[in-house]
Amino acid sequence: MKSSHLSFHSIALTTLIAIGIILVGGRALLGAHASLGLDEKYVLVVHGGAGNWKDESPQQLDTEKAAINRAAEAGYKILAGGGSSLDAVEATLRVMEDSGLFDAGRGAYYDRDGVPELDSAIMNGNTLAAGSVAAVKHIANPISLARLVMEKTPHVMIVGDGAEQFAKSQGIELVSPYYFYNERYWKLFQEVKAKEKNKSAQLPGNERKVYGTVGAVALDQGGNLAAGTSTGGTPFKMQGRVGDSPIIGAGTYANNDSCAISGTGEGEFYIRNTVASDICARVRYLHVPLEQAADDVVMKELVAQKGEGGIIGIDRQGHIATPFNSNGMLRATVRSDGQITVKVFADSPAR
């Protein structure tokens, strides 16, 4: 009888382990290979900035929609081929930086001195390794330099001339400031500069409020998360101003134990509230769904402070969240079926 009793428990334990459940202190814990409601092998989400997208012309919006679609395709190919989430995030954001259509890379805004300054960060959710650069002026793809900081130095952030000296040591060719010439943003800069001389200046952010910062978050087939963000800062900003994008925990964060986040919006609010890490901490410690955690931060706390913007996020089960409190946020999502969905406004396809 005793032998039979032990045999029953052995079979029961074996069955529980097989389905990935172990009882600890009376609580069921899900193992790494257990299904948690989604059967997503890999997911990628990209954003092209939150803000007043209703002011964009249909033609401009179509152009930006096509660009973010190309970026999502680049990241998807890597994930579908078994590549890492880090590789997918970097490749996706390089496409966005190169397009010249967003406030990142070739499309960066001009500061008060008429010079673009760029910031970027990337983070590995598996190891918590991270790298970022800020206030660089001669780097075509800051996201790639941020990754080199993560992988080739003991540091997390390098800024300004030091970051560019490091870039040269890694064989990255520095580009002329003319590489970043953007006729659309140059005209905007000239208009605001003229208003400032007349003592009636209004920052372009008050006139146009499209924060074209770009970001990507990914979950790969190995179950690893990664996040990356790249920006040219805010229009007509003070020289040397650094926003949330390159600050780990503010605008960029990834942790396999919770989620991966990239933010876009008024960076000072994201820094003060450590938005990216706060969302992930709520998921990890309060055990709330990613969507609820993101909504509580973006749609409640930031709104209460009048901080405009949004985030994109993925958790380790492949659930996504894309809340924004502005009138729009350009974003693209692609899952393991390869179907890319591009949206700008709430639950509406880009148009």
Asked if residues 206 and 66 have their Cβ atoms less than 8 Å apart, the reply is no
Identity of the residue numbered 351: R
Asked if residues 47 and 19 have their Cβ atoms less than 8 Å apart, the reply is no
Give the three-state DSSP class for 139: coil
* CA atoms of 236 and 80, how far apart (whole Å): 40
Tell me if residue 213 is catalytic: yes
∠ at Cα 24 (19, 27), nearest 5°? 80
Which residue out of 15, 92, 213, 341 is catalytically annotated? 213
The encoded tokens of residue 268 equal 């000072």
Asked if residues 114 and 235 have their Cβ atoms less than 8 Å apart, the reply is no
* CA atoms of 1 and 4, how far apart (whole Å): 5
Half-sphere exposure of 238 (CA within 13 A, CB side): 4
Query: For the chain, what's the residue count?
Result: 351
Q: Which residues, other chains included, contact 268 with Cβ-Cβ below 8 Å and sequence gap of 6+? A: 243, 244, 307
Asked if residues 298 and 346 have their Cβ atoms less than 8 Å apart, the reply is no
The encoded tokens of residue 23 equal 């009882």
Asked if residues 328 and 53 have their Cβ atoms less than 8 Å apart, the reply is yes
Catalytic residues: 213
